[in-house]
Each structure stands twice: as structure tokens, then as C-alpha cells.
């Protein structure tokens, strides 16, 4: 599978790219800064290109830029991305009284990203942290949701390479509202217990 990781010079994007390269995927790191993309790519064994070039000819685009920039980045690259499926991994959070909370928008970040792209948008990997992936596979399961079954299968295949457990289909793209909100729960758990919480689904 050929994958472009946009925002691949950030903590999560670079850790994700490293794990995907280790799993044998063909990875291109995208960035607004081609120099930073090339430097990070050299560290993880991938290619590094400016965003618009990174998405050319890939099977799946992972949108791992900061949450606030995700919809605008997708809109700017809509023509370059075309019909290629996009996996949205960011969560928009707000902080009140030292607690992480989901953002107030009724639509998930992934749903808003879908509004500006022609191809299918998936959402997933919200229970995985950069610090965990930097050290290897994350313990537990990974959840992915989306409306296009073929695109979701590709995203699940990618997700399976990142965890010790399973990659599980969490339903339609509307479920991204719950998955993104779960990030706030995990952040709060990690802060309170000083850990690296993951997610494991039992009973399936």
C-alpha cells in the first residue's frame, strides 16, 4: 500500500510514518516545508515531499496535521487529492479547568473534512498517541469509521499494522464524533494516572 502522511514532520505523523515503514508500506511524508519533509523522511526511511506532491499516486492519505488546520489543509489540497481516500486522525479538543473536552462543533473534524473533499474520508486511530507509537506498536485495538466500505478496508489494513490488538470497524463516518471525543477521555486518563492509556474492546 502506498501512503502519504500529511503533517508527517509532527510528533504523531513522524511516529506513524516510522511504524508504517517498519510494516513494509510505501510511505511518503508530506509537509508545507519540503526541507523538513526530506529531513524527517530520511530519519524514518520514507520519502519527503511538499504536500501536493506527496499525495500523488498513493492509495491512502493520512491527514495528521494539527486539528485546527485539518479542514483548511484538506481544502487547499482537494484538487491534488482528488478521489483518493483520506484518513483523518486528529481530534479537536478544548481545555477547561485542566480537563480536556471535545470541541463544541456538532460535526466531527472528519465530517467537516469530508465537506471539502470529493473522495471518501475515514476517521480513526484516535486512541493512539505519538509517544506510544514512537516506541513500537501500541497496545490494544484501533478503531476506524467511514461510509465507503472499500476505503474503510484500506484504512483498517493500515491500522492493523500499528497495534498489538485488532483494527475494528466502528461504523459510519458519523461515529467519528464519538471517536474524536474519546481522545479527550484518554488525555484526561493519562494526565490523572500519568500513563499511556490505550483502548481494548472485549466481547467480540
Could you report the per-residue pLDDT of 22-34, keeping only the tens digit for each? 999 999 999 999 9
Q: What percent of the chain has pLDDT over 70?
A: 100
DSSP for residue 175: G
Distances (CA, A) of 9 to 46, 51, 106, 136: 12, 11, 30, 18
- Quick: pLDDT tens for 42-77: 999 999 999 999 999 999 999 999 999 999 999 999
Residue 1, pLDDT > 90, answer yes
Residue 98, pLDDT > 90, answer no
| pTM for this prediction | 0.96
Q: Is 88 helix (H, G, I), strand (E, B) or coil?
A: strand
Across the range 72-85, mean pLDDT stands at: 98
Q: Is 50 helix (H, G, I), strand (E, B) or coil?
A: strand
Nearest to 187 by CA among 93, 64, 63: 93
Across the range 107-112, mean pLDDT stands at: 96
Beta bridge partners of 30: 6, 49
Residue 104, pLDDT > 90, answer no
Read off the pLDDT band of 97 (50, 70, 90). Answer: confident
Across the range 140-144, mean pLDDT stands at: 98
What CATH superfamily is the domain 2-193?
NAD(P)-binding Rossmann-like Domain (3.40.50.720)
Q: Map out the domains of the chain as residue ranges.
A: 2-193
Residue 103, pLDDT > 90, answer no
Query: How far is Cα 12 from Cα 3, in angstroms, rounded to an integer?
Result: 15
Read off the pLDDT band of 171 (50, 70, 90). Answer: very high
Amino acid at each position: 500500500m502506498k501512503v502519504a502522511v500529511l503533517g508527517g514532520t509532527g510528533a504523531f505523523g513522524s511516529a506513524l510514518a516510522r511504524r508504517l515503514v517498519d510494516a513494509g508500506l510505501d510511505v511518503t511524508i508530506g509537509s508545507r516545508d519540503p526541507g523538513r519533509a526530506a529531513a524527517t523522511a530520511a530519519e524514518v526511511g520514507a520519502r519527503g515531499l511538499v504536500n501536493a506532491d506527496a499525495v500523488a499516486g498513493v492509495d491512502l492519505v493520512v491527514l495528521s496535521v494539527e486539528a485546527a488546520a485539518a479542514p483548511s489543509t484538506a481544502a487547499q489540497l482537494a484538487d491534488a487529492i482528488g478521489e483518493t481516500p483520506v484518513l483523518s486522525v486528529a481530534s479537536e479538543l478544548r481545555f477547561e479547568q485542566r480537563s480536556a473536552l471535545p470541541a463544541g462543533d456538532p460535526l466531527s473534524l472528519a465530517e467537516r473534512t469530508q465537506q471539502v473533499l470529493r473522495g471518501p474520508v475515514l476517521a480513526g486511530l484516535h486512541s493512539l498517541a505519538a509517544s506510544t507509537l514512537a516506541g513500537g506498536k501500541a497496545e490494544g485495538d484501533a478503531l476506524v469509521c467511514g461510509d465507503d466500505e472499500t476505503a474503510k478496508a484500506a484504512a483498517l489494513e493500515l491500522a492493523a499494522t500499528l497495534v498489538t490488538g485488532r483494527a475494528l470497524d466502528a461504523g459510519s463516518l458519523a461515529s467519528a464524533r464519538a471517536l474524536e471525543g474519546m481522545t479527550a477521555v484518554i488525555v484526561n486518563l493519562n494526565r490523572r494516572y500519568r500513563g499511556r492509556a490505550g483502548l481494548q474492546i472485549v466481547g467480540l
